[in-house]
Structure 1
Amino acid sequence: MLSPSPTPASPAEGVRADALEAPAVHANFYTRLCATLARTCLGLGVLGLVLLVVAVLTQVFGRYVLNDTPTWAESIAMLLVLYVTMFGTAVGVRDAGHIGLESLLVLLPDAVRTKIELLIHVLVGSFGAIMAYNCALLALSVADYKLPTLGISEGWRYLPPVIAGVLIVLFSIEHLIAVLKGTEVEPAWH
């Protein structure tokens, strides 16, 4: 026999329950979004590494077998290194793969540790925002110039730190939410 679902004693209690559930739903959506972005960055990083290997092999083959190195191979390899590095940096921030001195934090009382963790994530997010903003300005300032061997805008060199900076901000916000909730951010590669 099915039992009736419990009803709130008053309409105000029902509204309060809905208000408590709504932030949790948004936080779960945000966490899933960040995890998806991180996995996408990992996938693009792997693809970038494969293309980087192809570009370097093309350089070696051209230089030693054909005695004529393709002019685009070195430029594309340098560009790919930037993209792979910046995507990896952003994922490292989300998955806490960066260097940290957590051994000192565990010695502190919980209240102090929480405040320091919040400060750390605010500082990392601020760094990401400053990096994104300044690299965007730089990309716009050189957008009219062309990379001679590729024929594309010089701004493509400064796009990876812009993307990584925005992702670092998003991932730092995710960490701030997790610290305030008393949870951990689960790495994207799990």
Structure 2
Amino acid sequence: MNNNQKVLMKIRGYFDAFIQAERYISSVILIIVTLITFVQVVMRFVFDAPFSWSEEVTLMFLVWFGYLCMAIDIYTDDHAALYFLYNRMSPVLRKGADLFRHGLLVWFFVEMIKYGWMLTKLNLPKPQPATRFSQGWLYAPLVVGGVLMLIYSLVNFISTILKPRSEYQRESDKPKTVEELTVERGGTV
């Protein structure tokens, strides 16, 4: 392992701690959404007195939850892939496909940040009907999640550049476990 790879591993260690915090925040958001929704159903069907604000707050939390989870998925590089095709590629093609994929994601997240910022600024002065919270809070996750996903995509892109071709060769020569074969064939573990 060369010095660049050691530095990258140290940086990834810091990101791992940050990802744990993101997972914790996402879990708390999901619990809050579940509680609000449960209480809202009880208030509506049992007491016939629903809250006027619950849908707006739930929607806002779900949007934040979604973008935080997408950022985690980008960092761990666990999103959907065509493993049946990817695993049949030569090491050179695999590295090229990984560079292309991460480069495309970097471009996409730059665009997402740019247009997300425009939407957020446009909707900041507009209040939501029930809570009177700014509608900008519904669009801010585009920017926050976009920045996180951009950073994680850049880390993955740099990791791919620094990953030697011999490691790709070692991965393709390694015997596959039953779980890996199941995922490659489109199943889940």
* Fold shared by both chains (TM-score > 0.5): yes
Distance in 2, Cα, partners of 1:25 & 1:156: 39
State the distance in 1 between where 2:66 and 2:142 align.
9
Which of residues 11, 16, 27 is equivalent to 1:46? 27
User: Which residue pairs with 1:116 in the alignment?
Assistant: 97
Separation of aligned partners in 2, 1:140 and 1:178: 34
Distance 1:30 1:132 in 2: 23
Q: What SS does structure 2 have at the residue aligned with 1:145? A: coil
The one-letter code sitting in structure 2 at the alignment partner of 1:57 is F
Superimposed CA distance per residue, residues 43-86 of structure 1 (whole angstroms, 9 cap, x where no aligned partner): 11100110001110121121122211111111111111111111
Matching residue of 2:132: 151
Q: Distance in 1 between matches of 2:18 and 2:154?
A: 14
Q: Highest CA radius of gyration, 1 or 2?
A: 1
- Picking from 136, 144, 165, the partner of 1:163 is 144
Instruction: Give the 3-state SS of the residue equivalent to 2:68 in structure 1.
Output: helix
Residues 1-190 of structure 1 correspond to what in structure 2 (within 5 A)? 21=3, 23-24=4-5, 26-182=7-163
Letter in 2 for 1:166: V
* CA deviation string 1:134-159 (max 9, x = no partner): 11110001111111211211100001
Q: Quote the Cα distance in structure 2 between the aligned partners of 1:156 and 1:63.
A: 26
How much has 1:25 moved relative to structure 2?
5.5
Local SS of the residue matching 2:103: helix
Flag structure 1 segments of 5+ consecutive residues without an equivalent.
1-19, 185-190
Give SS of 2:129's match. Answer: coil
Question: How many angstroms apart in 2 are the aligned matches of 1:181 and 1:61?
Answer: 55
Q: CA deviation at 1:24?
A: 4.7
Q: Tell me whether 168-177 or 32-41 shows the greater mean CA deviation.
A: 32-41
- Structure 1 runs, 4 residues or longer, greater than 6 Å off: none
The one-letter code of the counterpart of 2:81 is G
**What is the TM-score normalised by the length of structure 2?**
0.79
Q: CA RMSD in A?
A: 1.8
Using the size of structure 1 for normalisation, the TM-score is 0.79
Cα distance in structure 1, aligned partners of 2:5 and 2:159: 11
Shift of 1:37: 2.7
The DSSP-based 3-state class of the residue aligned with 2:53 is helix
Q: Distance in 2 between matches of 1:147 and 1:56?
A: 19
Gaps of 5+ in 2: 168-189
Question: How far is the alpha carbon of 1:97 from its aligned partner?
Answer: 2.2
Alpha-carbon shift at residue 88 of structure 1 (Å): 0.8
Tell whether the 8 Å contact from 1:58 to 1:73 is kept in structure 2 after alignment.
Answer: no
What is the distance in 1 between the residues matched to 2:14 and 2:55?
A: 35
| Cα distance in 1 between the residues matched to 2:121 and 2:13 | 32
